[in-house]
Amino acid sequence: MKNRDIILCMNIHQLKGKTVGAAVSGGLDSCTITKWLVDKGVNVVCFTADLGQPDERNVDEIRERMLACGAQEAVMVDAKDALAEEGIRLIQCQAMYEGGYWNTTGIARHVTVKALLPEMESRGISILTHGATGRGNDQVRFQLATNMLNPQFSVYAPWRDSEFLKQFGGRKEMIDFCQEHNLPITATHEKPYSTDANLLGLTHEAGRLESLKTPAGFITPGMGVHPKDAPDDIEHFTVTFARGIPVEVNGSPCTPLMSLIEANRIGGRNGVGIGIHTVENRFVGIKSRGVYESPGMELLGKCYEYLLQLILDRRARKLFDSISSDVAEQIYQGYWFDSATQSMLSSVEPLTHLASGTITVALYKGNVAFHAADGVPHSLYSEETASMEDIGDFDHADSEGFLAVLGVGARAAAVAGQTQE
């Protein structure tokens, strides 16, 4: 590949006079990097994926911010439906990373790159830049997703450029820079942590949250309330799945996006999935502390798990759990588009196609408790065969031969001295 060295080693001096496509969210990093690149003689066209960010009252304001920072053009791309659909696929795989993190930021990076690259290509841009730091996972996700979807694209990361690092050691210097140039940022020196948001969830990290003496309850929720502040009354939530996809919520037909919006609203007000603390293993090899919000994913995810309990036998369950863990790791590490992930997703499809039925749960101060299941055509559960009463076609006496066969191996292990008291 002719541009291999540029992809791996690009710096600001190589960019002067060229046009780059900046994947931006409109926050502190976006504003700082855009202005810095423009000052260095780089032509910057900003691209933002509308991911239903709950922390943005009006996503069109992002465009205004980036133009104020010197961007030649600021493009908004609607990716809400795409993100919702991938969010449902995460639920279908129960793809939670360490500590119950629903990979809400991880999957959003893949969706963002897929949405923005065609827009850059249509404008003749072949260099993508982003504001992910050199210590985190997002730099890996942006890089790998871009390389996999279009290997001819170069990726420039200011946070890995020594020239940029000389000027910006961290948030303090960036805030000072933006204030000096009167750039429209909302970050301040007093803000105690940073937040990354999309319709699937919020990621809170850095600042005060880096200290393990700061409790998860320190955050101000953006998608609901802390469990302790939720109503004192139980609220029921009902979702109908058809072949793994939510098609009805509380009796109303819905699309994947609508199901997540409604689950976010109802789950959030009941404290579901709010303030999830994790200290996780980043792909770059360091530990990081995050506090997550994902009310809709947690609520729909719990309902889907209750459905899986009805349809998976023990062999399918073992396979599913293994794939679930692997898919979660693949997303977290930036490999959503590779053949291994796609193969795993395909292997889950036969189980997903069995996941039809209606699940009702009871919500109370952050808890999601099973309430009822109905209309599950592929359920393996039978009240008759599972009953301890004198009903059904399972005869207790039939277990005599079953246990006799199992006992052969148990006795052999004892005789051979392979058991311990």
| Amino acid code (one letter) for 355 | A
C-alpha–C-alpha distance, residues 250 and 261, integer Å: 13
Whether residue 4 has pLDDT greater than 60: no
Q: Given the DSSP bridges, would you call strands 194-198 and 245-249 parallel, antiparallel or unpaired? A: unpaired
- Residue 273, SS3 per DSSP: coil
The answer to whether residue 8 scores a pLDDT higher than 60 is no
Is the pLDDT at 395 greater than 60? The verdict is: yes
Active-site annotation holder among 63, 89, 109, 269: 109
State the catalytic residue, choosing from 81, 194, 229, 379. Answer: 194
Alpha helices in 60-196 (DSSP H): 60-68, 80-93, 104-122, 138-149, 162-167, 171-180
pLDDT for position 396: 86
What would the pLDDT profile of 71-128 be if each residue is shown by its tens digit?
A: 999 999 999 999 999 999 999 999 999 979 999 999 999 999 999 999 999 999 999 9
Q: Is residue 254 pLDDT above 90, yes or no?
A: yes
Contact of 41 with 72, CB cutoff 8 Å: no
In degrees and rounded to multiples of 5, residue 97 shows phi and psi of -80, 180
Percent of the chain with pLDDT over 90: 88
For 70, the token pair is 């010197």
**What's the pLDDT score for residue 5?**
46
What's the pLDDT score for residue 301? 98
Give the pLDDT of residue 330.
98
* Long-range CB pairs of 89-92, under 8 A, 24+ apart, other chains included: 89/345, 90/297, 90/331, 91/297, 91/300, 91/301, 91/304, 92/244, 92/304, 92/348, 92/352, 92/355
Is residue 315 part of the annotated active site? The answer reads no
Q: Which of 29, 50, 161, 196 is catalytic?
A: 29
| pLDDT at res. 385 | 77
Find the catalytic residue in 25, 63, 126, 138.
138
Coil, helix or strand for 395? coil
Give the 3-state secondary structure of residue 103: coil
Question: pLDDT per residue over 196-222, tens digit each?
Answer: 999 999 999 999 999 999 999 999 999
User: How confident is residue 68, by pLDDT bands cut at 50, 70 and 90?
Assistant: very high
Res 333 pLDDT > 70 = yes
Render 1-58 in DSSP notation, one character per residue. -TTHHHHHH--HHHHTT-EEEEE--SSHHHHHHHHHHHHTT-EEEEEEEE---TT-S-
Residues 366-378: tens digit of each pLDDT = 999 999 999 999 9
Residue 161 and residue 133 in contact, taking contact as beta carbons nearer than 8 Å: no
SS3 410: helix
Residue 194 annotated among the catalytic residues of the structure: yes
Confidence at residue 391, expressed as pLDDT on a 0 to 100 scale: 63
Average pLDDT over residues 18-33: 96
Assess whether 138 carries a catalytic annotation.
Answer: yes
- The structure tokens listed for 225 are 């309330």
- Would you call 29 a catalytic residue per the annotation? yes
Q: What is the pLDDT of residue 390?
A: 67
Round to the nearest angstrom and report the end-to-end CA distance of the chain. 63
Which pLDDT tens digit goes with each residue over 123-163? 999 999 999 999 899 999 999 999 999 999 999 999 999 99
pLDDT of 2 higher than 90 = no
pLDDT digits (tens, 9 = 90+) for 290-329: 999 999 999 999 999 999 999 999 999 999 999 999 999 9
Is 363 exposed, middle or buried, given 0-12, 13-18 or 19+ CB atoms closer than 10 A? buried
Task: Give Cα separations from 390 to 50, 145, 355, 380, 385 (angstroms).
Answer: 59, 58, 31, 20, 10
The band of 3, judged by pLDDT with boundaries at 50, 70 and 90, is: very low
pLDDT of residue 421: 79
In this prediction, residues 38-52 reach a mean pLDDT of 98
Distance CA 69, CA 55 (A): 20
Q: Is the pLDDT of residue 165 over 60?
A: yes
Q: Is 90 exceeded by the pLDDT of residue 226?
A: yes
